Structure 1
């Protein structure tokens, strides 16, 4: 049942309650690059990606731990920015839909903004320095080399929310 504003006189049913109460669902995002080159693949990465819809709002959790067979693309450059597919199309582009922690180790971690750069995908933009005061290799949108050269065991964990397309 699609979302419908509660009106006086409506009868409370199990179906009606389900339509107004978000239910979390799993989703596996696509993973491509903005350039179309150096295409990555999850391999044996552990993904815990979930989302819930409430009316026209999508709330989500994105948790990826890269594995030993994860491929970060062949001959990547800093122009091959990663794009992760959204669970549901967005109504518009947004510079900030949420935040994520990018983690390579205890001291090697940064915060990134989750940006809806298309209505179907988000990208991550480095938005902080490292807590150990070490300079990051590259800044800007995240790719196989930004903010560091990604390897097995590195993680991305974030949350987002946005208005969905009608």
Structure 2
């Protein structure tokens, strides 16, 4: 049921309460790129994509651990990855979450760096690097996340993000 603001005289029903009481559920993200070229594929990646909606607020969390059959696309450092959002947004947004990218080839947690998540369309997230790696190793410049940025992605590397945004009415 879509969210409808409370009006005088409205009855409390299970449907009305369900529209304002967040219940976490799964969504199946679709992985594309900003240009539509160099399309990646999850392959056997392990994906946890969960969201809850309370009225017009969408809460979401995403964790992807890439597998040995994941195809990262053929990007050249200029074709940002996109992940479909669970619910259409009211508007594009410069920031709707944060997260981390993890290069597991680097010992311990030194291969992690911070991400900013943006809604670049009403239905897709894009990721950009918002910090350097915690071990101060330089990463590929440009700020975007694609097959070769901020590093060349590989099996068991991970992308984790979470946030919230306003849903379309």
Q: TM-score under structure 1 normalisation?
A: 0.91
Alpha carbons 1:138, 1:145 under 8 Å: kept: no
In structure 1, the residue matched to 2:22 is 22
Alpha carbons 1:113, 1:126 under 8 Å: kept: yes
Alpha carbons 1:59, 1:162 under 8 Å: kept: yes
Unaligned runs of 5+ residues in structure 2 are none
Using the alignment, how far apart are the partners of 2:90 and 2:15 within structure 1?
26
Using the alignment, how far apart are the partners of 1:115 and 1:8 within structure 2?
37
In structure 2, the residue matched to 1:146 is 149
Aligned residue pairs total 165
Using the alignment, how far apart are the partners of 1:16 and 1:120 within structure 2?
25
Q: In the TM superposition, what is the alpha-carbon distance from 1:90 to its structure 2 partner?
A: 0.9
Q: In the TM superposition, what is the alpha-carbon distance from 1:35 to its structure 2 partner?
A: 1.8
The question of 1:55 aligning with 2:55 is answered: yes
Alpha carbons 1:138, 1:148 under 8 Å: kept: no
In structure 2, the residue matched to 1:88 is 87
Q: Give CA deviations for 1:42-87 in whole Å, capped at 9, x if unaligned.
A: 00000000111111111100110000100011x3211121011111
Q: TM-score under structure 2 normalisation?
A: 0.90
Q: In the TM superposition, what is the alpha-carbon distance from 1:7 to its structure 2 partner?
A: 5.5
SS in 1 for 2:15: helix
- The 5 A counterparts of 1:75-114 are 75-105=74-104, 106-114=109-117
Q: In the TM superposition, what is the alpha-carbon distance from 1:15 to its structure 2 partner?
A: 3.4
Q: In the TM superposition, what is the alpha-carbon distance from 1:95 to its structure 2 partner?
A: 0.8
Q: In the TM superposition, what is the alpha-carbon distance from 1:19 to its structure 2 partner?
A: 2.5
In structure 2, the residue matched to 1:36 is 36
Counterparts in 2 of 1:10 and 1:96: CA distance versus 1, 3 Å: same
Alpha carbons 1:22, 1:54 under 8 Å: kept: yes
